[in-house]
């Protein structure tokens, strides 16, 4: 056992948890003061170990030891620090903290890797501020351009790039920020499982085989505002009633899908003018569809969009549909997963190989470089809520497995 410190991890988790705006749970949107406070805390931990910080043009943050330089392909550990509204203390944070603890262990144990070690913090993983999940990691691998980021705006109309620029973060301009296998030879992400599989099986480690694909849409129904009392039912064009049918359809179509694994969620609803005695005029809702099978995901998405068109026609309302995020499912690197399996077995730590129903930065990063993920249990399977919790001892065990794998993965081939 290499001995990651649960105490140090607890200290990191609690300090970062305090980098939050007021409200239940964790509230930390990308590029807000609380976001940079969390990044600054991580940077201070890394600077104490001789690591320098670089901010890419897309607001991702990279750390490498000064003497290692930035030219050689690194072995990287990464995740995210932005949170969903009223989120938990561990989602994303556990993976970044694991990356800091690995840097400490490399020092404490005088471990010499065959490659530079890098810690990577991807921005806007949740999409909670600019409306598109995995925006930072998509930009990191070149799936989103600076032009795309300039178009993505938050509720107040501030664009992704404006928000990044406002904080005066010294952006590493001469480094395009688009990474590939020439920059990172192996990417690992430790993450809380966010469901009940490991806890139910009483197994401490999950080794992720693959990550679901995702389609997110924003649908706006436009009806006709009118008087709730004086307007007969047959003369109405009620946008909220149309949205209600659409919400029920998302649930029914996801549940009935061929794979039996599809999930469909409407998590966001904005209704205008939202008054008890006004027939709603405009209702916007989000739709989030996922499946590990790309063909099933495509089919369910098509059926949902067809149903929305039919609802709009029957109700004489207008439906505008925008695709806000799309990522195909991936199978993670067998080379890096094998290193995790061998590390767990060497240390006598139990593990389960399993899929991920949540998306992660590894989903996009895996498209351009070898990537793998390791899960640690979520208490009660809860996540994306203030109740999200994981024992720091479990995170430490995950770090032990991760370090063993990194030592294998960083060895130069041949």
CB closer to Mn ion, 91 vs 326: 91
CB closer to ligand HGY, 257 vs 362: 362
| Residue 404 token pair | 């063993």
Contact 116, 102 (CB under 8 A): no
Look at residue 154 and give the partner it binds from ligand HGY, Mn ion, none, a contact being a CB closer than 5 to 8 Å depending on partner kind.
Answer: none
CB closer to ligand HGY, 184 vs 359: 359
Q: Please list every residue from 29 through 68 that binds ligand HGY, using CB under 6 A.
A: none
CB closer to ligand HGY, 254 vs 358: 358
Map the chain to HEC letters: CCCCCHHHHHHHHHHHHCCCCCCCCECCCCCCHHHHHHHHHHHHHHHCCCEEEEECCCCCEEEEEHHHCCCCCEEEEEEECCCCCCECCCCCHHHHHHHHHHHHHHHHCCCCCCCCEEEEEECCCCCCCCCCCCHHHHHHCCCCCHHHHHHCECCCCCEHHHHHHHCCCCECCCCCCCCCCCCEEEEEEEEECCCCHHHHHCCCEEEEEEECEEEEEEEEEECCCEECCCCCHHHCCCHHHHHHHHHHHHHHHHHHCCCCCCEEECCCEEEECCCCCEECCEEEEEEEEEECCHHHHHHHHHHHHHHHHHHHHHHCCEEEEEEEEEECCEECCHHHHHHHHHHHHHCCCCEEEEEECCCCHHHHHCCCCCEEEEEECCHHHCCCCCCCCCCHHHHHHHHHHHHHHHHHHCCCCC
Contact 90, 13 (CB under 8 A): yes
Look at residue 287 and give the partner it binds from ligand HGY, Mn ion, none, a contact being a CB closer than 5 to 8 Å depending on partner kind.
Answer: none
Q: How far apart are CA 174 and CA 123, in angstroms?
A: 19
Contact 101, 16 (CB under 8 A): no
Look at residue 359 and give the partner it binds from Mn ion, ligand HGY, none, a contact being a CB closer than 5 to 8 Å depending on partner kind.
Answer: ligand HGY
CB closer to Mn ion, 73 vs 92: 92
Look at residue 133 and give the partner it binds from Mn ion, ligand HGY, none, a contact being a CB closer than 5 to 8 Å depending on partner kind.
Answer: ligand HGY
Q: Please list every residue from 112 through 141 that binds ligand HGY, using CB under 6 A.
A: 125-126, 133
Q: Please list every residue from 285 through 344 that binds ligand HGY, using CB under 6 A.
A: none
CB closer to ligand HGY, 358 vs 374: 358
Q: What string marks each residue from 72 to 91 as x (binds Mn ion by CB under 5 A) or -?
A: -------------------x
Least Å distance, CB 125 to ligand HGY, is 5
Q: What string marks each residue from 147 to 176 as x (binds Mn ion by CB under 5 A) or -?
A: ------------------------------
Q: What string marks each residue from 334 to 373 as x (binds ligand HGY by CB under 6 A) or -?
A: ------------------------xx--------------
Residue, CB closest to ligand HGY: 358
Map 98-155 to HEC letters: HHHHHHHHHHHCCCCCCCCEEEEEECCCCCCCCCCCCHHHHHHCCCCCHHHHHHCECC
Q: What string marks each residue from 62 to 101 as x (binds ligand HGY by CB under 6 A) or -?
A: ----------------------------------------
Least Å distance, CB 355 to ligand HGY, is 13
Least Å distance, CB 219 to ligand HGY, is 18
The yes or no reply on residue 193 touching ligand HGY (CB under 6 A) is no
CB closer to ligand HGY, 324 vs 408: 324
Least Å distance, CB 275 to ligand HGY, is 32
CB closer to Mn ion, 238 vs 288: 288
Least Å distance, CB 93 to Mn ion, is 9
Instruction: Give how many residues touch ligand HGY by CB under 6 A.
Output: 5
Say if strands 330-331 and 351-356 run parallel, antiparallel, or are unpaired: unpaired
Least Å distance, CB 84 to Mn ion, is 6
Least Å distance, CB 133 to ligand HGY, is 5
Q: Please list every residue from 88 through 107 that binds Mn ion, using CB under 5 A.
A: 91-92
Q: How far apart are CA 22 and CA 86, in angstroms?
A: 9
Q: Which residues bind Mn ion (CB under 5 A)?
A: 91-92
Q: Which residues bind ligand HGY (CB under 6 A)?
A: 125-126, 133, 358-359
């Amino acid at each position: 056992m290499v001995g990651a410190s649960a105490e140090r991890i607890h200290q990191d988790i609690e300090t970062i948890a305090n980098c939050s705006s007021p409200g239940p749970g964790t509230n930390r949107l990308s590029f807000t003061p609380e976001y940079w406070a969390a990044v600054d805390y991580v940077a201070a931990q890394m600077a104490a170990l001789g690591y320098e910080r670089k901010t890419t043009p897309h607001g991702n943050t990279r750390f490498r030891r000064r003497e290692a330089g930035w030219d050689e392909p690194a072995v990287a550990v990464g995740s995210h620090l932005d949170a969903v509204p009223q989120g938990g203390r561990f989602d994303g944070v556990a993976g970044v903290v694991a990356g800091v603890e690995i840097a400490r262990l490399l020092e404490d144990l005088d471990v010499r890797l065959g490659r530079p070690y890098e810690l990577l913090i991807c921005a806007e993983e949740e999409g909670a501020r600019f409306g598109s999940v995995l925006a930072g990691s998509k930009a990191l691998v070149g799936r989103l351009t600076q032009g795309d980021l300039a178009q993505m705006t938050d509720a107040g109309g501030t664009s992704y790039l404006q928000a990044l620029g406002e904080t005066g973060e010294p952006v590493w301009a001469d480094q395009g920020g688009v990474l590939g296998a020439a920059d990172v030879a192996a990417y690992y992400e430790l993450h809380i499982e966010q469901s009940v599989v490991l806890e139910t099986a009483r197994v401490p480690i999950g080794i992720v085989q693959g990550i679901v694909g995702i389609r997110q849409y924003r649908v706006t129904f436009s009806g006709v505002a009118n008087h709730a009392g004086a307007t007969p039912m047959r003369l109405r064009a009620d946008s909220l009633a149309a949205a209600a049918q659409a919400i029920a359809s998302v649930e029914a179509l996801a549940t009935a899908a061929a794979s039996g694994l599809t999930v469909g969620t409407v998590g966001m609803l904005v209704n205008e003018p939202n008054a008890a005695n006004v027939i709603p005029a405009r209702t916007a809702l989000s739709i989030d569809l996922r499946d590990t099978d790309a063909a099933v995901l495509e089919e369910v998405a098509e059926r949902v969009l067809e149903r929305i068109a039919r609802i709009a026609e029957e109700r004489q309302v207008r439906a505008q549909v925008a695709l806000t995020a799309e990522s195909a499912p991936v199978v993670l690197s067998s080379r890096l997963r094998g290193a995790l399996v061998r590390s767990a077995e060497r240390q006598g730590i139990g593990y389960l190989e399993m899929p991920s129903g949540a998306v992660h930065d590894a989903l996009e990063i895996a498209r351009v470089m070898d990537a793998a993920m390791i899960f640690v249990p979520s208490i009660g399977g809860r996540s994306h809520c203030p109740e999200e919790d994981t024992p720091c001892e479990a995170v430490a065990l995950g770090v032990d497995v991760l370090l063993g794998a990194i030592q294998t993965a960083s060895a130069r081939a041949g």
